[in-house]
Amino acid sequence: MNEPASTGFGTQLRRLPATGIGVLAGLAILTAGLTWHLWPHWSSNPDLSHGYFVPPLFALLLVESRKGTPRASGAGRTAQAGLVLLLAAAVAAVFIAGLYAATVYWSHAAVGVMLTTAFFLLMVAAGLVFSRQDTRLVYFNWQLFAAAALWLLATPLPPGTYSRLTLLLQLWVSESVLNTLHLLGIAAVRRGNIIDLVHATVGVEEACSGVRSLISCVFAALFFSATLVRRPWARALILALAPLLALGMNFLRSLALTLLAGAGVDISGFWHDLAGFAVLGVTALMLGGLALLLERDSKQTAMTTTIGSTDGNSSRPFLILGVGLGGTAIILSFFLWSTRPVPQPETAPPDLAALLPEPPPGWAARTPNLFAFSGTLQTSHLAQRDYLEPLPGGSSRELIIYVAYWRAGQAPVSLVASHTPDACWPGAGWEAVAIPQTSIALSVNGRGLPEAEQRVFRSGGLPYNVWFWHLHGGKPITFRDPYSATELLRYSWRYGFQRDADQLFVRVSSNRPWSEIEQSPVLREFFERAARLGLWSQHALPHHPN
């Protein structure tokens, strides 16, 4: 068919079958649900402050799709096969999001990424259905695709991806600013992301790395490409120039602030914020102006293009889409139910502070306050004591014992395991050291302990030994790589919903090997006190040389 539709939106909406109306209602509920899920990220993360504009721009682009290229989809087997593949991918993404939620809870960035990916796929699938030749509620064109893709740019990046991208941009900006200063004849040296001038020191912090301007610039370019530009090559050009423009403008901002600091101007506060807002505003204006310039001589065609054949049952695509939406709803309901807070037993938790011995005569000890970590760990049952034993010659032996406890039903196993030293220590500046054996059998005073996880970290060139146990119902479990997405999924699948027993996490760390601390009176007394919690094996083990 080669003539465009002129039927009004209201008329086309009234022509939809009951299944079509039901699917539209389901899509509206999903849109509201995703907005509710992402809203805390938009309000707390400055890099995602543009997310507030996504819902209205999403609706605007859906309207724009009716004014864009009138590209319709057919109802034949090819279109239905594509619809099934999109829905299958969306259901898989929701399932993965649920597994991540069981591991690191719903507020984690990885959950947001997978839920938003599923929403994007569902919207593209819905576009295939509602752009059919006999429906034409929208058109399956760039405006429709951009409307769905905007959500992908308003979801938080996973912590590992964000950290690597931020560090890369920080180093690139600081190096580029340093080279420019040298070209201008200004003396300066760089230490990481810190630039030392003669009379000032400037640091390129995470907020100044350019991540915010990069994401916002690509977001604006995607919107402009769908509203101000019609030709495909012009759209591709705007999207390709957006990240380059963002990086370039952020470099100029950092250079200007560095020059001001070198001139004795206090760049904190007013100048810093003004430069940041100016970069965002100028880049948006430049992209908008470029879009208008590229579109100046273009002409919009009004010929309808049909994707795929038009044969087939007119109600079947609505049923297929409805089944896909129903599947995502069932999976989400299952994981929401499985990760819900459950009533905790009335049994009193162990007194963790009483497990930690007092320092022997001549030793020093410190008991840090761990209250700040209660929210992240989802428990207030935390205790730690840092011991320091002076040695001849002025050296010392450090010994730190940390204990955390969760009652049955308080947190899933996978969430507790996601906060092992593998995940937490590198973020605090420690560098993991490769060792040949990560699981080890240890003993204290000739008595065997459950198999422990062994790690070595380095900070300031000095190695530090770490041993830890995660017990579920008194039995130790292991966890491999908290940074691996596949390991998180494997762990969720195996342990994610187990809430039927209490959990204990014990960490012992020292600047000495186990062979030097094994006979420590502090360590012996601690494990004797903690024996009833599952920290003794049923048999004795020989002395371990490590």
| More reliable by pLDDT, 208 or 437 | 437
Write the pLDDT tens digit of every residue in 18-36: 888 889 999 999 999 999 9
**Domain co-membership, 499 together with 393:** yes
- Mean pLDDT across the chain, nearest whole number? 81
Same domain, 104 and 217: no
* Residue 133, in any domain of the structure: yes
Residue 201 has a pLDDT of 73
User: Concatenated DSSP letters for 171-219?
Assistant: HHHHHHHHHHHHHTT---EEETTEEE-SS-EEE--GGGSSHHHHHHHHH
- Would you say residue 546 has pLDDT above 60? no
pLDDT in tens, 367-408: 998 888 887 788 899 999 999 999 888 888 999 999 999 887
Query: Rounded to whole angstroms, what are the CA distances from 485 to 97, 111, 229, 457?
Result: 11, 11, 38, 22
Q: Are residues 277 and 394 in the same domain?
A: no
Using DSSP's 3-state secondary structure scheme, residue 441 falls into: coil
345 found inside a domain: no
Based on the fold, state whether residues 267 and 336 are members of the same structural domain: no
Same domain? For 286 and 396 the reply is no
Per-residue CA distances from 85 to 118, 137, 313, 355, 436 (Å): 12, 22, 19, 56, 44
Domain tally for the chain? Answer: 3
For residue 346, tell me if it sits in a domain. Answer: no
The answer on 288 and 378 residing in a single domain is no
Does 100 lie in the same domain as 55? yes
Q: Average pLDDT for residues 12-19, to the nearest whole number?
A: 82
Q: Kindly state whether residue 183 falls inside one of the protein's structural domains.
A: yes
In a domain, 538, yes or no: no
pLDDT of residue 256 exceeding 70, the answer is yes
Same domain assignment for residues 147 and 163? no
The pLDDT of residue 299 is above 60 = no
Give me the domain span that covers residue 263. Answer: 157-300
Please tell me which residue, 86 or 170, carries the higher pLDDT value: 86
- Considering the domain boundaries, does residue 12 fall inside one? yes
Query: Are 93 and 221 contained in the same domain?
Result: no
What digits encode the pLDDT tens for the residues 35-71?
A: 999 999 998 888 888 899 999 999 999 998 888 777 7
Check residue 260 and give its pLDDT: 78
The structure tokens 């109802």 sit at 75
Give domain status of residue 187, yes or no: yes
Q: Which residues contact 447 (CB under 8 A, 6 or more apart)?
A: 527, 536, 537, 540, 541
- Three-class DSSP labels, 37-85: HHHHHHHHCHHHHHHHHHHHHHHHHHHHHCCCCCEEECCCHHHHHHHHH
Q: What is the mean pLDDT of residues 293-317?
A: 61
Confidence of residue 323 (pLDDT cuts 50, 70, 90): very high
pLDDT for the residue numbered 465: 93
Task: Calculate ∠ Cα 382-383-389, nearest 5°.
Answer: 160
Q: Do 385 and 467 belong to one domain?
A: yes
Same domain for 274 and 138 = no
Percent of the chain, pLDDT > 70? 81
Tell me: pLDDT of 165 over 90.
no
Same structural domain for residues 103 and 41?
Answer: yes
* Most confident listed range (50-59, 339-348, 419-428): 50-59
How many whole angstroms separate alpha carbon 34 and alpha carbon 48? 15
For the chain, the distance separating the N- and C-terminal CA atoms, rounded to the nearest angstrom, is 78
Domain for residue 516, yes or no? Answer: yes
pLDDT confidence of 284, banded at 50, 70, 90? confident
